[in-house]
Structure 1
Amino acid sequence: MLAKDSGEIVVRDLRDILANRGGDRGQTFGRLLGGLALVSARHGLRVELIAQENLKKIADRWPGDNPRHVSLQMYGESHEQLPSKMEVLFTQRKVGSRIVVVQQMNGVNIGDPLTDNSHRPDGYRFHDVFHLAYAVHLGWSPVIRALLKVKRKSDPRIDENEDGARAIIIEEGIATWIFNHSARQSPKHYAAVVEGRLDYALLKTVRGMVSGFEVADLPLWQWERAILEGFRVFRLLLENKGGTVEADLRKRTLTYKPLAAIAP
């Protein structure tokens, strides 16, 4: 009965909107709320608790203006933290028949030169920018910790369970899976997606993938921001065949400068 009434309200409301008619929606929704309360009581549920849980779910995904950023608890010594500011130069080069991307910080190579690891060129060689975005907006990136050698060795439990191989593999898996998802969109790589519009199922899957890790309880909107910001800069790197990316963890900004704007 409740489902039937809800359906009738939706159909009638849409019909009224299309016909530019008003109607007493207050009474209609009041009756619907009364029915919801009766059904909830029959199943031992309280409407106010249901409403509170739904409000939490909405805030987790769509927090409104100026949401409060949630930070991870700090573990380890001060010298084991992710740098508050990182400037990474991405340089694309041709080595034989391969196109590779070399990454440098302060003139020092970090990690191995990257290719697309694919039979068809798709730009994945620039994917480390996603890890920078996770560091900026989530305060989390086992991959960046490994590259910069800032694993939290002073706490063996954290070193093994949060900064170890499993966490690194999961982060790489998330980046790859989301990249493949983005490549199937039109336009590609979420070029037309704004905050609040990224696939909800994708975000929930990501949360499931990090279950049990320190980042598991961060709100979905932060994941969305990290993902979309990472792809915004990824598209610039791909278009310009490289550039410099500044990751500021205090300001939570990811800034791109093209190669032409970099002083020699």
Structure 2
Amino acid sequence: MTTLEPQSEDEPMDLTSYQELSARTDILTADDPLMPLLGLAGEVGQLIAEYKKRQRDRQGYRAFEDEVSEELGDILWYAAALARHNGLDLGEIARANLAKTHDLFRSGTELPGQDPFDAGLPDGQRFPDQLTVTLVETEETSKHGERLQRVRMYAGDSPVGDPLDDNSEHDDDYRYHDVFHLAHMAVLGWSPVMRRLLDRKRSNQPSVDRIQDGGRAAAIEEGLTAYVFTMADAHSYFANLQHVPPSIIKTCAKMTAHLEVSARSLADWHQAVIAGYDAFRNVVAHRGGTLTADLNRRTLTYDAPPRGSDR
């Protein structure tokens, strides 16, 4: 059996080897998984204390770098112990984390091209390469005599879907939420809701028509749209954020894990949410406007309505 020896100071250390070597100094109770977790929390507290010292004495505290290095080392030790006590490999954890963060925070603003989900089908069952719609807000009277703000969507002179109001006790502009479905279509190449509204369901493929374009898939899209909207309300509709909180993006991916859109990355979902909320803030600010979904460029662009225009 090969004995793992400590590496020299000049030799790079991989995390799996570190975890194995650090086990030799692990005197924590094997049947108490809470101990490494408490140790990890304590070392993070010590690291914070070092930063507090530096804030208090920026010029005079010369031990800062050495102390931070030591605290980070202790944090790594407890992280390795916590992983080991749970049967996990720190090296594998690091690789998975790099893959996740690359997926979420991919550099560059332009998304790479993607294979459409409806390739090879007749035009009437495919999303258009480009779609321009106009959103118009009007005040109308319901059949019960209520005065409501409603939004209608048009492609040219043809209405798309039904007029929408907020369906809420509060005026929160959710009547404009079709912009999010447009963003899903533009960026992800996916939106069961837009397939229904545009009459582009894939009837040549019965199982796809039933599962991917069916009622359940559309309900899931509506559900995740409502969920993100609720979260966005707490963040000023992402007006001041460069990145949407990862938990929101991961929830969208989890909700659609059994659908074809699972082929898209977390970065794709992130861009779809950003594009949708950029459009939402614009249509709300101008009480309507024109949106162009470009599925080749994977963009959703906005043009304000001309002054004095009803359309």
Q: Deviations over 1:104-161 (max 9, x none)?
A: 1121111111122223322111111110111111111111111111111111111111
Residue of structure 1 aligned with 2:139, choices 94, 104, 108: 94
1:212 aligns with 2:254: no
Residue 128 of structure 1 aligns with which residue?
A: 178
The answer to which of 95-104 and 51-60 deviates more is 95-104
Structure 2 distance, partners of 1:256, 1:56, is 33
User: What SS does structure 2 have at the residue aligned with 1:113?
Assistant: coil
Structure 1 alignment gaps of length 5 or more: none
> What SS class does the counterpart of residue 262 from structure 2 fall into?
coil
Q: Judging changes above 3 Å, is the alpha-carbon distance between structure 1 residues 209 and 72 closer, same or farther for their aligned structure 2 residues? A: farther
Partner SS, residue 87 of structure 1? strand
Per-residue CA shift, 1:160-204, capped at 9, x if unaligned? 110001111111112222223333x26x32322x232x2332222
Paired residue for 1:57? 100
1:150 is matched with 200
CA RMSD of aligned residues (A): 2.8
Rounded to whole Å, the distance in 1 between the matches of 2:80 and 2:231 is 40
For this pair of structures, how many residues does the alignment match? 260
Q: Deviations over 1:193-229 (max 9, x none)?
A: x232x23322222222212111134332322221222
**Contact 2:136 2:289 survives alignment (8 Å):** yes
TM-score (norm 1): 0.85
Aligned residue type for 2:238? Y
Residues 130, 230 of structure 1: 8 Å contact kept: yes
Match of 1:235 in 2: 281
Unaligned runs of 5+ in 2: 1-35, 142-146
**Shift in alpha-carbon separation, 1:10–1:158, aligned structure 2, 3 A:** same
Residues 1:190 and 2:238 are matched in the alignment: yes
1:7 is aligned to 2:44: yes
Of structures 1 and 2, the one scoring higher in RCO (CA 8 A, sep 6+) is 1
User: CA contact under 8 A between 1:70 and 1:218: conserved in structure 2?
Assistant: no
How many percent identity over aligned positions?
30
Please give the alpha-carbon distance, in whole angstroms, between the structure 1 residues aligned to 2:76 and 2:230: 43
Could you tell me which amino acid in structure 2 is paired with residue 3 of structure 1? L
Deviates most, 54-63 or 133-142: 54-63
Per-residue CA deviation, residues 11-52 of structure 1 (Å, 9 max, x unaligned), is: 344235423343235565456545644654565433221110
Offset of residue 82 of structure 1? 1.1
User: 1:68: how far off?
Assistant: 5.4
Any conservation in 2 of the 1:86–1:247 contact (CA below 8 Å)? Answer: yes
**Distance in 1 between residues matched to 2:158 and 2:75, nearest whole Å:** 65
3-state SS of 2:65 partner: coil
Q: 1:172 — aligned with what?
A: 222
User: Do the aligned partners of 1:90 and 1:242 also contact (CA within 8 Å) in 2?
Assistant: yes
Alignment counterpart, residue 48 of structure 1, candidates 85, 91, 98: 91
Length-normalised TM-score, structure 2: 0.73
Q: Distance in 2 between matches of 1:102 and 1:140?
A: 22
Against the structure 1 CA distance between its residues 14 and 102, is the aligned structure 2 distance closer, same or farther, given a 3 Å change threshold?
Answer: same
Specify the code of the residue in structure 1 equivalent to 2:114.
Answer: S
Which stretch of structure 1 is more off in the superposition, 253-262 or 148-157? 253-262
CA distance in 2 between counterparts of 1:8 and 1:182 reads 32
| TM-aligned CA distance change 1:31 to 1:238, over 3 Å | closer
Q: CA deviation at 1:86?
A: 0.6
